Amino acid sequence: MKIIRKRMGVLALTVSAFALTLGVSQVQAAGSHGGGHGHGDKQEADIGTAGDPSKVSRTITIEMYDNYFEPKTLDLKEGETVRFVVVNKGEFVHEFNIATAEMHAAHQKEMMQMMETGVLEMDRIRHDKMNHGDGHGMKHDHANSALLEPGQTGEIVWRFNTHTKLEFACNVPGHYQAGMAGPIKLSH
């Protein structure tokens, strides 16, 4: 536990240092972490649903760096189905997650559990530690999220249902607080 906490501290300090240098103002989980992060069916439905790839209206490339995303904001339409190609260009593991601020806060606790159990390290995901062999384990396989090691690329196809206040964020411990979050502006 001390090594993991020490690594988390180094990560938070490193990310904070990047944030300060650039003038930024801010800086897979246990149990039932599946199914959209387990925060309630109504709330999950409000953020949207997995999209049908045949109905994609456009593709947006999301680049993740060690304390920010490019682009910094997303302007989308209610009912739009978007393909996100997510590229981790940083030196650390990063996540692209579509949710409300409340859902991100809850998910950050789950991501902390992943770090504390050694599933998630600063620069890699320990897939070998995800299964406990008893039918319980840790995973990170949600339609609204991509968790990527440095240099990896992932894809999300998402349909935005309603005019809910959404944001995209990285919930790896310390990253959201370092500025890895951006608003999703939905119009009619």
Domain that holds residue 115: 2-187
In the prediction, which pLDDT does 163 show?
A: 72
Q: How many structural domains are present in the chain?
A: 1
In the prediction, which pLDDT does 11 show?
A: 41
Q: What CATH code is carried by the domain that includes residue 135?
A: 2.60.40.420
In the prediction, which pLDDT does 129 show?
A: 84
In the prediction, which pLDDT does 7 show?
A: 40
In the prediction, which pLDDT does 130 show?
A: 74
In the prediction, which pLDDT does 177 show?
A: 95
Q: What is the rounded CA–CA span in Å between residue 70 and residue 149?
A: 17
Enumerate residue ranges in the chain where pLDDT < 70.
1-45, 131-141
List the structure tokens of 159. Answer: 């349909």
Sign of CA dihedral 116, 174, 168, 85: negative
